[in-house]
Structure 1
Amino acid sequence: MKILKFGGKSLSNGEGIEQVVNIIAKRFFDGEPIAVVVSARGNATDELIEILDLAQSGKPYAARFDEFTAYQQEGIALSFFEEEFSTLSKLFEGVSLLGDYSEKIKDQIIAFGEILSAKYVTGILNQKGLKAKYTDARELIKTDANFGNAQPIETVSKKNVLGFFDSKEEIYIVTGFISSTLNGETTTLGRNGSNYTASLLANYLDAEEFQNFTHVDGIYTANPELVSDAKKIERLSFNEANELANFGTNILHAKTIIPLVEKNIPLRILNTFNPDSEGTLITSEQTDEGIKSLSVLNNVSLLNLEGRGLLGKTGVDARIFKVMADNAISVSIISQGSSERGIGIVVNTDKASEALIGLEKEFETDFYTRDVNRITVDDNISVISIIGQDLSTFHKPYTALIKNKIVPILFNNTTTGRNISLVIQKSDLKRALNVIHGEIFGVTKKINIAVFGHGVVGGTLISQILASAQKIEERKGIRLNLFAIANSKKLLLKKNGNTQNWKQEIAEKGVPYTIHDVVNFARENHLENLIAIDNTASKNFAENYFELIENSFDLVSSNKIANTLQYGFYKKLRKALAKNQKTYLYETNVGAGLPLIDTIKLLHLSGENITRIKGVFSGSLSFLFNHFSNEDKKFSEVLKEAISNGYTEPDPREDLCGNDVARKLLILARELDLQNEFDEIKIQNLIPEPLRDLSTPEFLINLHELDDHYNKLKISQKSGNVLRYVGELSGDLQQDKGTLEVKLVSIPESSALGQLKGSDSLFEIYTESYGERPIVIQGAGAGASVTARGVFGDILRIADKG
């Protein structure tokens, strides 16, 4: 015989009850001997309790009762439940008159959920010509008189069951959850009671298998409603299932498993609404070691007992657990320091106040002597248990949590060393589950990206991300989710990511915003692994970095402003990054996509003494002087060509003034821990003074006025020399400050700098170890595509590292 059990959602009106009938009918016609255990249909138990409470408080309950009866008898004759509804009506009337009820009366009332359900299913099956027999478990399962959570009397219950199930010709439809005392008083079996009924029947009848039909395909690596990437677990051992039950998996309860373990009866979790799924099979066979699932305990509270005077005192734990035992309060987690100066225990929230009162009474004298400072309760917590996790690899999910600024309040591991529980703030639950799940189970890691600034570089970056996202996910297991795109005025937010239509959508649907809106959106949607991209050229936007960092964003920037503001700001930003354990990458600040900053960081970190850095920092000015030096063209002609190719800013004076090169040079200086300020840089402005204050249109009209000046410079050079606009960092770089210069120089064409072509940048890094033979880094130093690709690279470095 197989025991089939159907839950409340499976038995709900409509598709649910139809599927249940079809499953039962198929098993019967296939010749399988079965017994069916049913829960109350829909939300019947909760509804009965709601009506009971209305009656107790003297409030009108008739309308609610009518709704209940209408649902329960849908599709069946009105007179079918006449006796049950009449009894219920009298019970509610009695409670209303008394204004109170006992646990005994409550059990009598809520038992009708299962009674109605079993009779309903039996009636429907009989209507369809199937031989079904209504079976009241109160006649079979006998218990003690602990109403609300009765314990079965095994010898009597087993004898009753074996004597009753004597025919294979009928389908037994058994009420779950309910039972009775030896005197015939109705009792209930407590939490997971219907599963417990089915488990007891399976044990007594030596069933072939217990099949538990739910509304999901089986047991998952996490709750699919909270973790979209959760995977179904094909097989579990009873030990693993018991651990899952102990730590909050709703499908199971430890007491359900024990009767099955005793007889080695397999348990299969199946989906009523997907009968073709094979579900999750739970047997006595051990599975491969490793992490199986993440379970969650909600509706729990953390009690903290703190006291300096407890140092060295023995027996504190005993006193705490005595309070818990005296009040019948179960403790799921306890955590403490070896000194006993702080002890935290996790209990069910509905018992938290009782526990607090008990502890305050027990430690009353200790308050007066100041051995105990305070006892507090925190209801805003959840517990995540990692089933199968041992401490040797726990650093991985823990580090992932910290990276996402989720700091566990406490954690606890079992004596087996293979289960770890984390107590976290309830508001962090969904995000924490997704972070841990992604780290442990090797599913695609989701990186949530906010891009600020979608000009030439920003727009190119967005296109690159959208075009490459699928390949990156396939190759690296990293899913790039572009949840926010913003310009200086409008913001476009999409939880599941923006698409190729983003330009049109931000124009039509974009809304005014502040940085708080992006932060709040990420928090409200539990987005993890956050990266903010600054592709603006805004000084004001750099002020937002602190709020982003404090709200779990890593930073990537092509904007040089933040790294070239006052040294105090520079250090404050680094301090914030360190405090919040966040990453800030800005490789494109100098050299576009070239690996310059990273190389200098590594050299400096390794203790290498960098003595000088010199180079052509600007791809725009590289193009300008490479062509002007080697071609028979006027300076204004080459400049116009650079403008038309997009190598310069719309107003080329922003490049020609030298400030951009100076900022890049300052960034490198600060990577060497130098404390220089921008105004200490000696900058040669390439724009003659008369042209500096003109409007942009006026300047562009008068470009020819540059020709005479630069032609004189060109012809006055030594033979074989070329003009290059360079930045140079020199001096004693072991001191607090170095010498920074940005200037136009004439150098031999045969030198490394002199041989530059196109818009390439070139950097020479001189070190103590390498002497006069510098490390040379050369490549494309300008262009939106190159810069965007460099920003993209920084994004992937953070994603891969995390």
Structure 2
Amino acid sequence: MKILKFGGKSLSNGEGLDKVVAIILDKVNQGEKIAVVVSARGNATDELEDLLSIAAKNESYKPLLEQFKLEQQNGFADVDLTEEFNVLEKLFEGVSLIGDYSSKIKDQILSIGEVLSAKLLTAILVKNGVNARFADSRELIKTDSKFGDAQPIEQASKKNVVQYFKENDDAVNIVTGFIASNAKNVTTTLGRNGSNYTASLIANYLNAEELQNYTHVDGIYTANPDLVPDAKKIDYLTFNEANELANFGATILHAKTIIPLLEKNIPLRILNTFNHENKGTLIRSTASKEGIKTLSVLENVALVNLEGRGLLGKTGVDARIFKVMGDNDISVSIISQGSSERGIGLVVAADKASTAMIQLEKEFENDFYSKDVNKISVTDNVSVISIIGQDLSTFHKPYTALIRNKIVPILFNNTVTGKNVSLVVKKSELNRALNVIHGEIFGVSKKINIAIFGHGLVGGTLINQILESATAIEKRKDVKLNIFAIANSKNVLLNKNGVTPNWKNEIQNKGTLYSIQDVIDYANENHLENLIAIDNTASADFVENYIPLIESSFDLISSNKVANTLSYSFYKKLRKVLADNQKTYLYETNVGAGLPLIDTIKLLHLSGENITKIKGVFSGTLSYLFNNFSAKDVPFSEILKEAIDNGYTEPDPREDLCGNDVGRKLLILARELDLQNEFEEIAIQNLIPEHLREGSASEFLTKLKEFDAVYAKIKEEQEPNHVLRYIGELSGDLQSDKGNLEVKLVSVPSDTALGGLKGSDSFFEIYTESYGDRPIVIQGAGAGSAVTARGVFGDILRLSDKG
């Protein structure tokens, strides 16, 4: 025989009840021998409890009772539920007159929900030609008299169940879950979610082949799918793992359900009423694959802390604490103890926390006077995440991921077996913490949530590169890149599920005014993890947002050079904030666009290599200018106009020609070597004749020919077989606080590596003590939006691999 148990949502009016009937009919038609255990339909138990509370206050409960009756009878007028409705009317009237009720009365009222459910289902099945019989579990399951949470008396209950099913072997018995009776036949209940317990007891007594628990989900998941969209269904669990799940808040299982099944080795299958073709999750004795199975959550809890230096080494403290808990019927789900400074944290139900604190204060009153106890406090708004199957040897992975996302657990503990770890976190951080842990430990793609500021040439190219490559990257690296924000200086486009390829139109039509705090708040409200902010602006003002972003759990990537070339004091402050918040700032494109220059210098410097000099062509624009001017017999203005027309220069070419951009890049490299130079200390040769430095850009563009005489003279005065290059050079004692930084136009032999530069390539020589006069050379495309965007993309992928 198989026992089928249907929950309240499965039995609700409409599709639910129809599906339940279809499932039972299908099994009967296939010749399966079954018995059915039911919960109250829909929210009947909660509704009855609410009515009880209203009646006890002598408030108007009758209209709500009539509504309850209509819902229960809805569409089934031919089913006689009069007896149960009359009982409810009499009980509620009595409660209203007295203005109070006992646990005994409450059990009698709540039991009606299951009776109505079982009677209705029985009648529908009979109408459909099934030999169904209503079975009132109050006549079968015998318990003690602890109303609200009664304990079954096994011998009597088993005898009744076996005898009843023997006498009614020819029928499909529809059994009321949750309810029972004591030796005097007074109604009792088995506690909330007790219908599962009823089903497992009957399965045990009848040596059932399998217990099938039909719910509204496809089975047990690696996490609650409502909280973790990427959660996966688990095919198999062991009873021990299921028991841990039940103890740590998995509402799909009652904590007592597992034991009767385990005793007889009866498998439990969790199935979906609304998708009954799915095989669900099978819970059995045989061990499944080792490893983490699922994340379970306890909500509506509070943390009670007892702190006291004077208690260190004293015996009997724990016993006193747990006596208080026991005397006040307070269950402790987690306990965590400190040793160096005596501290004990207890996780209890939220509605019991105040009682726990008051009673502990009474118990330890004398210890307060002797100052052995410092403080007893309650931390509300906390939740517990339990990682079922977590081995402590690998716990550093989810823990590090939490810290990386600025989620610091308040406490954690592990079970005796060392296979389950529980973390207490702030309730406000629960969703994000769950997603961070889940992404780290299960075989789902790690989600990287990206906010991109600046969507011009580089930013726009980067967005398109990410969107085009996202599917391949997820497949290859198990990393899901999700652009949730795109912004310019005024408007932002926000979408927690990721922007679409139509983002340009969307930001124009749907973009809204914003502050940086709006983006931070959006990320927090939507529990977005693994946050990266990308600055593709050239704005000095936007740099002011770096610190708030870092403090709000964003890592940073920037193609904007400003932050690294402001005052040295700001440079150091930014690094301190990064270190304090354990965040990363990547800016490989600041100097060599897509070339691995900064990484190479960092690696050499950190390894202790003494770098003695760095020099090279830092600007792709100026590389193009002088490479072509040196090779061709044409005026300088013609090459400059060509560069402008090809989009190699800034809209005002003087921003390239003044040398400040090269100076900033050189300063960035100097600071990577821990040099404390300021921008003002760089000797920069301005390539613009003095009389052309003022005025508008449009006016300047009409005077390009005035460069010709100046640069023709410089070109003519070179030695034979020499070419012009505009370089940056870092030299001097680079082990001291400051180096010599120069940006200048030089003439070099055409047969050298620097002299042979072509196109718009950047070129860098890194001289070190170990390599002597043979420098490390890095050369390649040093300009262009595609190259720069690809360099930023590389930084994104490096960050996604972190941790």
2:183 is equivalent to residue 182 of structure 1:
yes
State how far apart, in whole Å, the 1-side matches of 2:40 and 2:192 are.
13
Partner of 2:289: 288
Partner of 1:719: 720
Unpaired stretches in structure 2, ≥5 consecutive residues? none
Partner of 1:86: 86
Aligned pairs, number: 802
Corresponding letter in the other structure for 2:76: I
RMSD over aligned Cα, in angstroms? 0.9
Partner of 1:619: 620
Preserved contact between residue 300 and residue 349 of structure 1 (Cα < 8 Å)? yes
Partner of 2:390: 389
Bigger drift between 273-282 and 246-255 goes to 246-255
The alpha carbon displacement at 1:79 in A equals 6.8
Partner of 1:22: 22
Distance 1:427 1:24, change over 3 A: same
The aligned runs of 1:392-407 (5 Å cut-off) are: 392-407=393-408
State how far apart, in whole Å, the 1-side matches of 2:524 and 2:137 are.
48
Corresponding letter in the other structure for 1:49: E
The aligned runs of 1:344-743 (5 Å cut-off) are: 344-743=345-744
Corresponding letter in the other structure for 1:476: K
State how far apart, in whole Å, the 2-side matches of 1:636 and 1:237 are.
79
State how far apart, in whole Å, the 2-side matches of 1:311 and 1:419 are.
28
Preserved contact between residue 10 and residue 272 of structure 1 (Cα < 8 Å)? yes
Preserved contact between residue 310 and residue 339 of structure 1 (Cα < 8 Å)? no
Partner of 1:304: 305
What is the DSSP-based 3-state SS (H/G/I as helix, E as strand, rest coil) of the residue aligned with 1:143?
Answer: coil
State how far apart, in whole Å, the 2-side matches of 1:168 and 1:228 are.
45
The alpha carbon displacement at 1:168 in A equals 3.1
Partner of 1:138: 138
TM-score when normalising by structure 2 = 0.99
Preserved contact between residue 312 and residue 339 of structure 1 (Cα < 8 Å)? no
State how far apart, in whole Å, the 2-side matches of 1:549 and 1:634 are.
49
User: Alpha-carbon deviations, 1:369-408, whole Å to 9, x = none?
Assistant: 2221111111211111111111111111111111111111
State how far apart, in whole Å, the 2-side matches of 1:505 and 1:255 are.
53
The alpha carbon displacement at 1:314 in A equals 2.4
The alpha carbon displacement at 1:473 in A equals 0.9
Preserved contact between residue 33 and residue 168 of structure 1 (Cα < 8 Å)? no
User: Alpha-carbon deviations, 1:309-349, whole Å to 9, x = none?
Assistant: 22232222111111111112111111111245211110111
Partner of 2:231: 230
Corresponding letter in the other structure for 2:368: F
Corresponding letter in the other structure for 1:20: V
TM-score when normalising by structure 1 = 0.99
Partner of 1:70: 70
Corresponding letter in the other structure for 1:500: P
Corresponding letter in the other structure for 1:503: K
Preserved contact between residue 49 and residue 110 of structure 2 (Cα < 8 Å)? yes
State how far apart, in whole Å, the 1-side matches of 2:313 and 2:202 are.
52
Corresponding letter in the other structure for 2:244: E
User: Alpha-carbon deviations, 1:635-654, whole Å to 9, x = none?
Assistant: 11101111111111010000
Corresponding letter in the other structure for 1:51: L
Partner of 1:767: 768
The aligned runs of 1:786-801 (5 Å cut-off) are: 786-801=787-802
Preserved contact between residue 312 and residue 340 of structure 1 (Cα < 8 Å)? no
Partner of 1:330: 331
Preserved contact between residue 621 and residue 649 of structure 2 (Cα < 8 Å)? yes
2:745 is equivalent to residue 744 of structure 1:
yes
The alpha carbon displacement at 1:736 in A equals 0.6
Corresponding letter in the other structure for 2:452: V
Corresponding letter in the other structure for 1:392: S
User: Alpha-carbon deviations, 1:483-540, whole Å to 9, x = none?
Assistant: 1000011100001010111111111111110000100000000111111000000111
Moved over 3 A (4+): none
Partner of 1:128: 128
State how far apart, in whole Å, the 2-side matches of 1:63 and 1:728 are.
87
Partner of 1:160: 160
What is the DSSP-based 3-state SS (H/G/I as helix, E as strand, rest coil) of the residue aligned with 2:777?
Answer: strand
Partner of 2:38: 38
Preserved contact between residue 79 and residue 123 of structure 2 (Cα < 8 Å)? no
State how far apart, in whole Å, the 1-side matches of 2:549 and 2:66 are.
54
Preserved contact between residue 213 and residue 271 of structure 2 (Cα < 8 Å)? yes
Bigger drift between 58-67 and 650-659 goes to 58-67
The alpha carbon displacement at 1:755 in A equals 0.9
2:240 is equivalent to residue 275 of structure 1:
no
Bigger drift between 537-546 and 82-91 goes to 82-91
The alpha carbon displacement at 1:368 in A equals 1.5
Partner of 2:112: 112
Bigger drift between 222-231 and 615-624 goes to 222-231
Preserved contact between residue 79 and residue 120 of structure 2 (Cα < 8 Å)? no
The alpha carbon displacement at 1:584 in A equals 0.5
State how far apart, in whole Å, the 2-side matches of 1:257 and 1:311 are.
39
Q: Kindly, what percent of the aligned residue pairs are identical? A: 73
What is the DSSP-based 3-state SS (H/G/I as helix, E as strand, rest coil) of the residue aligned with 1:146?
Answer: coil
What is the DSSP-based 3-state SS (H/G/I as helix, E as strand, rest coil) of the residue aligned with 2:257?
Answer: helix
Bigger drift between 239-248 and 691-700 goes to 239-248
Unpaired stretches in structure 1, ≥5 consecutive residues? none
State how far apart, in whole Å, the 2-side matches of 1:442 and 1:553 are.
24
The alpha carbon displacement at 1:78 in A equals 6.4
Distance 1:175 1:340, change over 3 A: farther
Preserved contact between residue 450 and residue 483 of structure 2 (Cα < 8 Å)? yes
User: Alpha-carbon deviations, 1:574-619, whole Å to 9, x = none?
Assistant: 0011111111100000010000000000000000000111010000
What is the DSSP-based 3-state SS (H/G/I as helix, E as strand, rest coil) of the residue aligned with 1:636?
Answer: helix
State how far apart, in whole Å, the 1-side matches of 2:340 and 2:459 are.
55
What is the DSSP-based 3-state SS (H/G/I as helix, E as strand, rest coil) of the residue aligned with 1:539?
Answer: coil
State how far apart, in whole Å, the 2-side matches of 1:347 and 1:269 are.
28
The alpha carbon displacement at 1:547 in A equals 0.8
State how far apart, in whole Å, the 2-side matches of 1:270 and 1:222 are.
16
Preserved contact between residue 233 and residue 280 of structure 1 (Cα < 8 Å)? yes
